[in-house]
Homo-oligomer: A and B are copies of this chain.
Amino acid sequence: MRWSDLENEPCPVARGLSVVGDRWTLLVLRDCFRGLRRFDDIHASLKITRHVLADRLKRLESTGVLERQQYSTAPPRFEYRLTEKGRALYPVMVSLIQWAETYQPHDGTPPYRFHDRETNALLDPVLVDRGSQVPIDSRHVRAARAQGADKPL
C-alpha cells in the first residue's frame, strides 16, 4: 500500500486520511480554524518549511478543503479560506483535542474550553447518537456496510 493509493480505497478511514492523514495537514487546518488565512501567518505559526507548507496548501485546495482567494490585485496576493468541506472537519479536530487533553496532557497550561460564541455558555463536546443522545462507545457499537456483508468498520 502506498500513500497515494489511499484515496480510492473503499474504506472511509483510508479516504479521510488520504486528505488529512499526513504529518502537517491537520496542523495547517488548526491554524485555519484559528482564523489564519495567509501563507506567512501560517508559516510563522507552524514553522514547517515553506516548501512543505506550499505543497500542503496546494493539496488542500485541490481536494476542496480550502479555497484560494485573491485579496489584492496589485500585487496579486492570495489567501486560503476553509470551505464547507473544510469546516466539516471541525468534529474531527475537536474530538482529537478532547482526547489529547484527557490522555496526553501538558503540564502548566490550562485546559481548552469551548464556548458558544453568542451566549458564551461553556460547551462539553461529546459524540452521541443523534436520536437517543447515547454516547458512542467502541464496545457498544458495530460498524457495517448498509447493505451486503457485515464487514466491520
Contact = CB atoms under 8 A, between A and B. Distances in A.
Contact of A26 (B9, B13, B23, B138): B13
Contact of A15 (B15, B104, B110, B140): B104
Interface residues on A, range: 35 or more
Contact of A23 (B17, B94, B112, B147): B17
Interface in A1-57: 1, 3, 7-23, 26-27, 30, 33-35, 46-48
Interface string A98-129: 11111110100111111111100101111111
Interface of A: 1, 3, 7-23, 26-27, 30, 33-35, 46-48, 63-64, 82, 85, 87-104, 106, 109-118, 121, 123-134, 136-148, 152-153
